Amino acid sequence: MINDVLFADFLDDRAVYGVAEACWQARLAFLDGQCTPYLRTAFANGQPFYDGNPIINLADRNAGKATRIVQQCPHEFGHGYTSFEQAIELAVGDGHRPAREKIIVLTLTQATAQRAEDELRVWFAPA
C-alpha cells in the first residue's frame, strides 16, 4: 500500500528530498559524535546527487564500521527492505583501513525507518 510511504516524491522534489534527509539525520542522531559521513553525496561542483543512494551514510572509523541507507523510489520499487554487509576500506588519516559496511535498501515507511534504526543501534553498539 503506497499510502504508508513517507516522502514518496523525494526523487522528484528537492525540498522533499531535504526533508527526507533531515528525517534520517534526526532518527540517527544517537550516532552524533560517534559517526561521520564517509561517502560523497555531491558532484565535484557541489551539486548534490539527489538520487537516494545513499540518502544518509555514516562511519565509525575507530570501530571499522559503516552504513549507508539507500532509499528507493516507491513508485518504481514498491515496498521493500533489504540489509546486507560487505567488506570495504575506510579512509583514516593518510591511509585506509579494512572495515565492514552495512547497506540497507528500503522504501521509507514508519515501519522500515524503525527497523533500520533498530538494526543500526545494534550494528554500532560498542563491542
DSSP 5-66: BSSTTTTT-HHHHHHHHHHHHHHTGGGBTTBB--S--B-TTS-B--S-TTSEEEEETTTTEE
pLDDT of 33: 96
- Strand 65-71 with 81-92, pairing: unpaired
Coil, strand, or helix at residue 83? strand
Peptide bond into 98 cis (omega under 30): no
The pTM for the full model equals 0.94
| pLDDT the model gives residue 93 | 85
Evaluate whether 58 touches 27 at the Cβ level (below 8 Å).
no
Tell me what pLDDT residue 2 has.
Answer: 56
> 65 is in which domain, residue-wise?
2-123
In a 10 Å sphere around its CB, with 0-12 CB exposed, 13-18 middle and 19+ buried, how is residue 29 labelled?
exposed
Largest distance between two CA atoms of the chain: 48
**Total domains, the chain:** 1
Q: Which residues of the chain have pLDDT under 50?
A: none
How many whole angstroms separate alpha carbon 122 and alpha carbon 67? 12
Per DSSP bridges, beta strands 65-71 and 56-60 are: antiparallel
Sign of CA dihedral 115, 121, 122, 124: positive
